[in-house]
Amino acid sequence: MKTKNRIWISPLVVMGLILILTSTCKKDEDSNNKITDVDGNVYTSVTIGNQAWMVENLKTTKYRNGDLIGTTTPLTLDISSENTPKYQWAFDGNESNASTYGRLYTWFAITDSRGVCPSGWHVPSDAEWTILTTYLGGLSVAGDKLKETGEVHWNNPNAGATNESGFTALPGGSRYESFSYIGMTGYWWSSTEYSSTNAWRYCMFYQYSYVSRSNYLKHYGHSVRCIKD
């Protein structure tokens, strides 16, 4: 009578294999959640309702095709007389600000046909911003759910911030002839024009829970969040 040979595998070996497979799957999932722009900056994304948004403000200095988005010399140059100024800035010219808060762009730059967002992503329209804020309960309360918590980047008291959406909004400030409001206010462009001089934007504040929807001069430098196509 033949005796069957049995192979005994230690439970520790089995657990080790499970951990390896789990880790591999997680890395694949994480890598699928990474987006890289033409400058090599890496972003993550979050799904809110039926939309996928980048979790960080845009940082690129180039259009999608590699063309440079210029800046001004000096940084505070008055560009109000230019017809379609296409510029980007690190707040106060400090690259560490750009690393944390992203860059500030004129509306003309972010709507250029060469595209500022990575492939497969675009600057959200006014309607897409409205879908986001409506999903989160409306403009009056959406700021709480969008703002990063704590006071590392937002000024005290960062009223109501829960970041329950995972959007992690940061207050990158604004630029016109000077730089202002970093740590206090975040301004984000939409791609939607209001008039020949103004476009729709969305704002969040350290002292309030609401999101403000307003139109403002296209020459201003504001932050950008990209949304998936």
pLDDT over 60 at 60, yes or no: yes
pLDDT over 60 at 48, yes or no: yes
Task: Provide the CA 24 distance to its chain's centre, in angstroms.
Answer: 28
pLDDT over 70 at 178, yes or no: yes
> What is the model's pLDDT at position 77?
96
Quickly state the pLDDT bin for 13 (edges 50, 70, 90). Answer: very low
> What is the model's pLDDT at position 177?
86
Q: What is the mean pLDDT of residues 116-145?
A: 98
Give the relative orientation of helices 126-135 and 139-146 as an angle to the nearest 10 degrees. Answer: 80
Domain that holds residue 162: 34-228
pLDDT over 50 at 18, yes or no: no
- Would you say residue 22 lies in a domain? no
Q: Are 176 and 221 in contact (CB under 8 A)?
A: yes
User: What are the tokens at 74?
Assistant: 């000096």
Quickly state the pLDDT bin for 33 (edges 50, 70, 90). Answer: confident
Q: What secondary structure letter does DSSP report for 118?
A: P
- Would you say residue 41 lies in a domain? yes
pLDDT over 90 at 196, yes or no: yes
Number of domains within the chain: 1
**Cα gap 44→153, rounded to integer Å:** 19
> What is the model's pLDDT at position 29?
31
> What is the model's pLDDT at position 32?
57
pLDDT one-digit tens code per residue, 70-80 = 999 999 999 99
- Would you say residue 224 lies in a domain? yes
Q: How far is CA 1 from CA 4, 5, 6, 8, 50, in A?
A: 10, 13, 16, 22, 64
- Would you say residue 91 lies in a domain? yes
- Would you say residue 23 lies in a domain? no
Amino acid occupying residue 80: S
Q: Are 149 and 162 in contact (CB under 8 A)?
A: yes
pLDDT over 50 at 17, yes or no: no
pTM: 0.85
pLDDT over 80 at 2, yes or no: no
- Would you say residue 25 lies in a domain? no
- Would you say residue 104 lies in a domain? yes
- Distinct helix (H) and strand (E) counts, the chain: 5, 12
- Would you say residue 19 lies in a domain? no
Quickly state the pLDDT bin for 161 (edges 50, 70, 90). Answer: very high
Quickly state the pLDDT bin for 21 (edges 50, 70, 90). Answer: very low
pLDDT over 50 at 191, yes or no: yes
